[in-house]
Amino acid sequence: MTKTVLPMGFILLARKLWDSDLWRSKPSWWLKVWIYMLLGVNYQDDQHFKRGQGFFNTKIIYNECGLYLDGIDSKSIDNVFRWLRATSQITTHKTTRGIVITIVKYNEYQNIRNFINDTRNDTQNDLETRQKRDRNDTIDKEVKERKENKPLRKSKYEFR
């Protein structure tokens, strides 16, 4: 089997997003801007920005997200930034040519280890639990059989 390598990398989206205010109560184009930012920040540190940081320009976001097609005003992107800052999802720093955005929990949500269960460990634990339960069931069964099959010894002392 050949291994497929996808160019340009990937981002992770947690299903927790379905329960977020961004998904449930904000306009759908806000999610498009959020994903654009996730795709645009650095996935590793470099000489200019840290992991989870990137340089953006609202005009470029507006054009590349195609917000003009939906009749969205270009100044509306500032509302997205304002809300994301208020909910502590991003921090921003204005520069003369744009804005530096830091995704606050980028390392938490873009680390695949935070999404994968250790199935080897889970399987081993399940196996150990099952074996212990089976041993206990076997012992209980043997004790019960002995009690049923063994004649009761009469005591020297009879109690009436």
| pLDDT tens track for 96-154 | 999 999 999 999 999 988 887 655 555 556 666 666 666 665 665 666 666 666 555 55
Per-residue pLDDT of 77-96, as tens digits, reads 999 999 999 999 999 999 99
Parse the chain into domains and list their residue ranges.
15-113, 117-149
The predicted pLDDT at position 8 comes to: 80
The predicted pLDDT at position 136 comes to: 62
Contact 106, 41 (CB under 8 A): yes
Q: Which CATH number fits domain 15-113: 1.10.10.10, 1.10.645.10, 2.40.70.10, 3.10.180.10?
A: 1.10.10.10
Closest CA to 16 of 119, 108, 113, 118: 108
The predicted pLDDT at position 119 comes to: 53
Per-residue pLDDT of 28-39, as tens digits, reads 999 999 999 999
pTM: 0.70
